[in-house]
A and B are shown apart, each in its own frame.
Chain A
């Protein structure tokens, strides 16, 4: 585990670099507004696809439109936050190939932080906004029997979900130390993962649901806690407490991803590939 000093040092470097990028983007305000809108529109198309489906059917895997919107909004917001903060990691493979990773290694700041903050793009807020809007629509149209626990679960879900996706980004980047062209594989798990989670678990085969629950635990981003909030059964017979497991799963994923990252960086530094 990284010692607290390193984490603080990393956050400091991240903030400095990110602020620099935001400042430089703001120099071209019009371009910033346009790319943010484009980012918003591109992700919104996903949801249009779901709307189109519901113009033909009344339910998808037994879920109504507001319920699917609930899943969609949670997944979209969590993924959007992860993509905003750490999405730049996918450029690692290229940096290894062209050798520019070396320039990060000679600076007195953790490489992970430098890489994550590199080209920090505020336009990715477009995706977060879109997810949040869909979530807002879902919350106003759904008739949920709110309890304090369910209310508490909402922010917990979004934060843990973002952490789980971030862990996938970091683990994917670590894998690129070994296979530098693997950013597509990573995309399958990140962008692919969020698309999967936008649909109810009931529309997928049990095997897939099992894989997403136990192997790559993306189900903890929204499926498990959200089915609890919606008062629906989860396709796999799991105890109720699992709905509250996301923070634990997120911590576990981040620890594993951190270990993978350190292993990857160590192997780079001994092979210099």
Chain B
């Protein structure tokens, strides 16, 4: 099968929210969690799906896995309509929910894997091979006999990722895979996902709050807010869209009044150190040359725009638009 692996065409999800407004009185309100979203993901791509809380990320994942039925639009994963053929699709996808485990809570980790083995009817050879690989790369050897409830968050997350991959899914959905993990666990998870994508060509769609996940893993990012897709493209492109600025940090020999150069503006002064903001699209070289020529320069550094600030800016623009 060629072409796009995941296809969404004007997909909508409308929830009816009932709110108690008094004794027996209820007010009905419609909430558009996902509002006419269209995108496609080709096989083997790694896509980040970001947005603030309640933006519609998880709702989208739930529709892609067949948990929720869309209220409108067309949705296909591997040519399957998820909500109508949930069980058939289940064999071809892997799902990891960051905040809740798909493992059997009270059973040792290995028991969950054995159940997955049989439930997905994984051939013995494939199961062994996949399990050994995950155990090695995700460092699970000492955890296999531990009941899931006794695992730390990072251990559990690694256990969950392994469980989602034993049946060789063609696409892996990760909903907040690094939430609450420490730096080492995050690095381990990211490294594993990168290898998985490179070696097996597994399509990966992940939602996250952590922009480092995106920076380190995804060639493509989608930004969603209020159920609408606001950006879809490479991470670098976000800077342009967000009209972001880079920062030049300058250490001078002594305290001086704010530097005056046409291409940049001073945003902060702290003793001999000054912060200058300039457009991310411009080059830092002429600016540095100019300052070095006119001021007693000791040291300097350039800071890339904070992607979170960029996105916050995007949201703010939309709110005022």
Contact = CB atoms under 8 A, between A and B. Distances in A.
Contacts of A105: 65-67, 86
Interface residues of A, number: 25
A272 B65 CA distance: 13
Given A103-B100, A269-B68, A16 B95 contact: no
B68 A20 contact: no
Contacts of A98: 100
Nearest to B59: A272
Q: Which of B59, B99, B114, B115 is the most central at the interface, judged by chain A CB atoms within 10 Å of its CB? A: B115
Nearest to B94: A106
A24 B100 contact: no
Interface stretch (B101-109, B193-201, B245-253, B258-266): B101-109
A106 B65 CA distance: 6
A192 interface: no
Contacts of A9: 87
Contacts of A108: 87-88, 90-91, 119-120
Q: Which of A99, A102, A269 is the most central at the interface, judged by chain B CB atoms within 10 Å of its CB? A: A102
Contacts of B86: 105-106
B118 interface: yes
Contact of B97 (A17, A103, A269): A103
A16 B119 contact: yes
B65 A271 contact: no
A9 to B, nearest CB: 8
A33 interface: no
Interface string A3-27: 0000001000100110011011000
A139 B68 CA distance: 52
Contact of B62 (A20, A100, A272): A272
A270 B69 contact: yes
B138 interface: no
Contacts of A271: 15-16
Contacts of A266: 69
Name the interface size band of chain B: 20 to 34
Nearest to B160: A103
Interface string B154-184: 0000000000000000000000000000000
Contact of A269 (B83, B87, B104, B111): B83
B67 A102 contact: yes
A268 to B, nearest CB: 9
A4 B68 CA distance: 25
Contacts of A106: 65-67, 86, 90, 93, 95, 102
B202 to A, nearest CB: 16
Interface in A114-168: 119
A56 interface: no
Contacts, number: 70
A38 interface: no
A107 B166 CA distance: 13
A20 B107 contact: yes
Nearest to B67: A105
Interface string A77-104: 0000000000000000000001110110
Interface string B265-295: 0000000000000000000000000000000
Q: Which of A17, A24, A105 is the most central at the interface, judged by chain B CB atoms within 10 Å of its CB? A: A105
A5 to B, nearest CB: 10
Contact of A272 (B67, B88, B99, B101): B67
Contact of B115 (A16, A103, A272): A16
Contact of B15 (A23, A102, A272): A272
Interface in A187-222: none
A109 interface: yes
A24 B106 contact: yes
A39 B160 CA distance: 34
Contacts of B87: 9, 108-110
Interface in B52-89: 59, 62, 65-69, 71, 83, 86-88
Contacts of A270: 68-69, 71
A155 B119 CA distance: 33
A103 B101 contact: yes
A102 B98 CA distance: 12
A145 to B, nearest CB: 51
Interface in A217-273: 266, 269-272
A271 B271 CA distance: 57
A102 B67 CA distance: 6
Given A20-B107, A24-B106, A269-B83, A109 B119 contact: yes
Given A102-B62, A106-B65, A272-B62, A20 B100 contact: no
Contacts of A21: 107
Nearest to A119: B106
Interface of B: 15-16, 59, 62, 65-69, 71, 83, 86-88, 90-91, 93, 95, 97, 99-102, 104, 106-108, 111, 114-115, 118-120
7 contacts: A24-B108, A98-B100, A103-B102, A107-B119, A108-B88, A108-B120, A271-B15
Given A106-B95, A110-B87, A269-B68, 10 more contacts: A16-B119, A20-B115, A24-B108, A105-B67, A106-B67, A106-B102, A108-B91, A266-B69, A272-B15, A272-B67
**A-B interface, 5 closest residue pairs, ranked by CB to CB distance from nearest:** A108-B90, A103-B102, A106-B95, A105-B67, A108-B87
